[in-house]
Amino acid sequence: MNRRAAFHILAYVALFVFFTFLFVLINYPSERLADQVNGYLLEATEGSITVGSARIKPPRSLELGGITLEMDQGGSLNLGRAVVSLRILALLAGNKGAEVRLENPWLDSDLSFVSTGEDWDIDVRSAEIDLSELPEEILTLPLSLTGKIGLSFNLRSSDPAKGISSGEIDVTSGPIEIGGDLLEALNLAPLRISRAAAVATIKDNILTLGENSIEGDLAASARGVIRIAFVDYTASRLDLTVELKPGPSSRDRLLPVFKLMDAKPKPDGSINMRVRGTVGRPSITM
């Protein structure tokens, strides 16, 4: 057998092995794969996240459906579907890493995750929240919202048991309209926000607000810190001061409401609120 014929045979064998492997990969039982993914999530998230289905999406991705988050206060939240792509360079370096595209009716986001031993890094490059599609599990007040919020953040930890070591958060929005029975009862519906923006930093589980503002029928800004409880976020401690000021077109509507709240507006119509307590049980004083 000459060298050229041997090369052809080896090429055919390689192609056969490749396509056999690809066939097995594509047709790997979805139920078994979902069980394996849930086994990994059980260890990584202590059972707070599960998936209903999983399938391999060549060349290096998993498509997960029916992703469910168990809420701390009871009940569950449907997170929709995600495409998870492994980061080959991270794996070659002995680390864990993935790119994730998460989609559902109210959230569209791209994020990456890298873990190097005890360290981890989560980078949400972009996330868009459609307020009109928020589920009841998140929007518990009798309000109706329209508009979208953009979000990006990066969180890092050097010790998972101690929570977040450092991070940055950036939030922006375009026009937002707030309505519903609660605001209608106060003669405030609709309440229109033309723009919102906020930045914050995190250091050793303490979130510190940076530049932030809300503009529109109601202008607002805040300063202070949130001490994050990593195990149960609803127990995070609040220490914030919020300034509210009615816009020129909504002053006549908002000032009576401020007075009902036993607030004492300044000459420009603004009021200051001190927010303490926890995320789950906030305490507001004026």
Reference 276, options 224, 209, 230; nearest CA is 224
pTM for this prediction: 0.82
CB-CB contact of 243 with 221 (8 Å):
yes
Domain extent listing, the chain: 134-285
Return d(Cα 58, Cα 66) in angstroms, integer. 20
pLDDT given at position 264: 86
Burial class of 90 by CB neighbour count within 10 A (0 to 12, 13 to 18, 19+): middle
Q: Where are the alpha helices (DSSP H) in 146-200?
A: 181-185
124's tokens: 């949400």
Give the Cα separation of 278 and 284 in Å (integer). 11
* Amino acid 24: pLDDT: 42
Distance of CA 263 to the CA centre of its chain: 34
Verify cis geometry, omega within 30 degrees of 0, for the bond prior to 59: yes
In the prediction, which pLDDT does 89 show? 54
Mean pLDDT by 10 residues, the chain (286 residues): 45 43 52 83 82 84 90 82 77 70 95 83 94 89 93 91 91 95 87 96 96 95 93 87 92 87 88 92 88
Please give the biggest Cα pair distance in the chain: 99
Partner residues linked to 152 by β-bridges: 170
The CA radius of gyration of the chain, in Å to the nearest whole number, is 25
Tokens of 141: 């007040």
**What b/e sequence results for 143-158 when a residue is b if at least 16 CB atoms lie within 10 Å of its CB, and e otherwise?**
bbbebbbebbbbbbbe
CA torsion sign, 130 to 67 to 41 to 28?
Answer: negative
**Who contacts 20 (Cβ-Cβ below 8 Å, separation ≥6)?**
none
Mode of pairing for the β-strands spanning 218-227 and 206-216:
antiparallel
Cβ distance 12 to 4 under 8 Å? no
The confidence score (pLDDT) of residue 28 equals 60
